A and B are shown apart, each in its own frame.
Chain A
Amino acid sequence: MSSIPLSAQFINLFAAIILLLAFAMLAQRRVLQLIDLFALQGATLFLSTLTVALTTGQAHLYGSAALTLVLKAILLPWILHRLVRKLNIKGEVEPLINIPTTMLVGLVLVIIAFNVALPISQLAHTITRGTLGIALAVVMLAFLMMITRRKAITQVVGFLSMENGLFLAATSATYGMPMVVELGIALDVLVGAIILGVFFFQIRDQFDSLDIHHMEKLKDS
């Protein structure tokens, strides 16, 4: 075990912290703290990418790291904070099923993700291929957060957190994606966030609240 170089140990540590933050977001009750946790997740992702960049020496990874820091850790949380204040969203997150049950389901998802990723990660050739399981778990936890929350703002945070997981998978398993792919994904996320933001205003205008359950009234019967 001591044969694993220090850089790989650090990447494992950062990956574990990202998983911890994904769980913490699942357990968080307040919206503002949720956005701060997301910012923290972005910062950890930046550190992880930076470590990979330093180890492999690939130049474009420095760019990716910088992009992650600016967008995920600084810009997006700031935009979300402004949105929360503008739309006057109240402090609580309003889960569908209670928080302990959500955490238990999250634990089961983590076990599934780890077991599914084990045979796949044996195909990769990097030293940190174990973090593939963690990345998959982060994606699934973010998905769970999107499903079990009522407020629209938490859906956005979940969506962005999913993208964090995908990014982690890419950097750790294959030591980074080609810049083209990465810019494509970033553009997808940006467009998605814009569309969701537009939707927020429309929903609030229509129903005077951002509880997505009001949208269930949009049925024929």
Chain B
Amino acid sequence: MPKLLAIDFLLILASAWAAIGLAGLAAPRNTRFISKILFPLGALVALCVGGVGLCALGAPAETAVLGIGLPDLPFHLRLDNLTAVFVMLLGCVSVGISIYAAGYFRDGAGTAPGLLCLEYHVFLASMLMVLLADDAYAFMVAWETMALSSFFLVTTNHQHAEIRRAGYLYLLIAHVGAIAILLSFGVMTANSGDYTFAGMRAQQLSPFWASAAYLLALVGFGAKAGLLPVHVWLPEAHPAAPSPVSALMSGVMLKTAIYGLLRVSFDLVGTPLWWWGVVALAVGLATALFGVLYATVQSDMKRLLAYSSIENIGLLAVGIGLALIFHSYRMEALAALALTAVFYHCLAHAGFKSLLFLCTGSVLHATKERNLGKLGGLIHRMPWVAWLALVGVIASAGLPPLSGFVSEWLLLQGFLFSPGLPHSWLNMVVPVAAALVALVAALAGFAMVKFYGIIFLGQMREAALKDAHDAGLWEKVGLVWLALLTLLLGVMPATVILRIDAATRQLLGKGLAERIDDHGWWLLAPIAPARASYAPILFLVTIVLSVWLGRWLVHRLYHGRVRRSPAWDCGYFFQGPRAQDTAEGFSQPIRRIFEPMFRMERHFPSARDTAPYYSVKVEDHFWHWLYLPIARLAGWISTLITNLQGGRIAIYLMYSFVTLIVLLLVARP
């Protein structure tokens, strides 16, 4: 029996997922079988995938060749350290999501559960194949499968027109991106006919073609990740999909796009130029600022989280840009710092964003409401979901001691060392970019306070919310898994970085490990302790100890009596739940300060209105600047072309006749 390599094991696990999906087809309407047996099996497979990814970090790269596909065009697969990081991410996060999904999917209108099971597990398997692919052919096949299966997942509730529209937009932009990626791969093969990644690595491209490949990859992978200006599908598709699917898309699928971008810019295309990093930095900053500003003004809880995902993708692009700048100037130690920040943020974001989306899924189940204006006070009826969502909210706002803070800290440390660059303009502009990153992080805190406060706190804005129920057992287990993951990433950063450092070393030649190693698991000091150090366990222990000690001391020395009374109403005793802030009201300061960034349609009542109302609608500028003009252009060209369809048969025969004559004239020997 030949020795089983890790990559073979992963292929077996991928086929296991496909088999689970097909098993779902056998009993398409049997919800109990699918949700209580198949999804937990899928979670088990995901656990193994995560484990294999973890073990593969630091091991030498393994390759495999799969004979499927066309004859003479086999799939090449490869498991190296970069892939292993993302495989680990995929596995660990999908465990939680699959367990949650076991409790989430119930009977109802829309796609049959068996079909859903097939699409879901094919989606997971295709993402794994994207990560493993080692040539352009396998990559594109897996990429397309991923896009198609996620399209079907997004349109699960296809009886609603706006969900169909969201799915269509998603598929459209996914294919635009796929074309750009294909062109990028084409440029990188440089006419040699060798479409494997190993062949692309060996090519020596001129700066023009290397830049072309990089920019095409940025556009193509950016379309899948949600960078400006090809982000418009994200706020439509994520809310339209069922919550576990949104979590999977936001947490894992966006990271495969980041994986692709990293693979192209650090591995395949050779030594980068400094301005590539500047482009990524600028696009990333614009995306992050845009995403977070729009997140603060949303009225739909899932759209808010979708825009927050756009913000985090922007931050990832900022990190990639910074790493590219350092790499192009051969400042490898600093590039390693920035790249580690990127990897860590991928892991952290996958964890907390999935947690938040799954919590909204529970809220949706309990209340059937997505609109923030009809929620409120749910912490009383759904304590488990509320407290686990608090973990996600604190991590998303980038606060210690959870995972979001570590990646932000590493990124800011990278920015701090940028004035050592040999380029004077970059020296001055890049620290200002750091200030914008801090602004984005602070605005993310605003958006998260709005999200949590309006859904879970305050008074219930609708009477029906009193009947809300807490999450079921399966859902709770999934949420707790993801919360524990977030906590672990926050409290033990040094251990995690030591493992993923193998990927940094592979891409850059240098990592952070040798410096971190001597300080123990509890201190993170990426350069030297005297320069910058962070001990999250100390934070956690001190805060918990102070809380506990404070409570004990106060109750010992004084007393613990409590009385209940109505809230302070300043004499206005007609106040009800409608007196507290609406979602739009909470974000009014942001709308006022950042007015040019939004496209707002406002309605104010006049004195003569018999049914006065206030309304404000916030729309995306990019729709009106970019997409609607392109759509109008496409429509105009189409109407021109319809002129060819005269309707008379003589005209059609003449087309063939003229073409024949032209060919005879042109193709003379």
List the interface of chain A (C-beta within 8 A of B): 107, 111, 114-115, 118
Contact = CB atoms under 8 A, between A and B. Distances in A.
Interface in B417-436: 424-425, 428-429, 432
Interface string B436-450: 000000000000000
Contacts of B425: 111, 115
A115 B429 CA distance: 10
Q: Is the interface of B mostly helix, strand, loop or mixed?
A: helix
Q: In this complex, which of A107, A111, A114, A115 has the most chain B Cβ atoms within 10 angstroms of its Cβ? A: A115
A107 B428 CA distance: 11
B589 to A, nearest CB: 14
A196 to B, nearest CB: 34
Contacts of A115: 424-425, 428
A111 B429 contact: yes
Q: Is the interface of A mostly helix, strand, loop or mixed?
A: helix
A192 B31 CA distance: 87
A115 B421 CA distance: 14
A221 to B, nearest CB: 32
10 contacts: A107-B432, A111-B425, A111-B428, A111-B429, A111-B432, A114-B428, A115-B424, A115-B425, A115-B428, A118-B424
Nearest to B426: A115
A118 B424 CA distance: 8
Given A111-B428, A114-B428, A115-B424, 4 more contacts: A107-B432, A111-B429, A115-B425, A118-B424
| Ranked 5 nearest A-B pairs via Cβ | A111-B428, A115-B425, A118-B424, A115-B424, A114-B428
Nearest to B423: A115
Contacts of B424: 115, 118
Nearest to A118: B424
Contacts of A107: 432
Nearest to B429: A111
A207 B54 CA distance: 78
Contacts of B432: 107, 111
B524 to A, nearest CB: 30
Contacts of A118: 424
A1 B569 CA distance: 61
A165 B211 CA distance: 42
Contacts of B428: 111, 114-115
Contacts of A111: 425, 428-429, 432
A118 B432 CA distance: 19
A107 B424 CA distance: 16
Contacts of B429: 111
B93 to A, nearest CB: 40
A21 to B, nearest CB: 21
A188 B424 CA distance: 36
A145 B428 CA distance: 23
A114 B426 CA distance: 12
Nearest to B593: A100
A107 B436 CA distance: 14
Interface string B1-27: 000000000000000000000000000
A118 B425 CA distance: 10
